[in-house]
Amino acid sequence: MNHTQSQAPAEEPMVGARHAAQQLNLPSYYFTKPRCRVSKRIPHYRVGQMVRFRMSELRAWAVTQGGAHE
């Protein structure tokens, strides 16, 4: 029998607030301040005490906010 093994999809690495702010050209407090993240509905993940972001989700979020900030 010839089985093709499906590869697990490559997971997108998570980035920190500083990297996210630089990539989207936004102030870092958007990503570091909890109230700001919630009020602006910024997609994020809590990993222990750290907050991490996926750039693909942030880019999609930026588009819904009136344009990509790249």
Q: What is the pLDDT of residues 18-40, one digit of tens each?
A: 999 999 999 999 999 999 999 99
| pLDDT exceeds cutoff 50 at 70 | no
Q: How far apart are CA 17 and CA 23, in angstroms?
A: 10
Percent of the chain with pLDDT strictly greater than 90: 74
Residue 33 has a pLDDT of: 97
Task: Identify the sign of the CA torsion 27, 41, 37, 15.
Answer: negative
Q: How far apart are CA 34 and CA 45, in angstroms?
A: 12
Question: What's the pTM?
Answer: 0.76
Residue 9 has a pLDDT of: 52
| pLDDT exceeds cutoff 90 at 10 | no
Residue 38 has a pLDDT of: 96
Question: 16 φ, ψ to 5°?
Answer: -85, 175
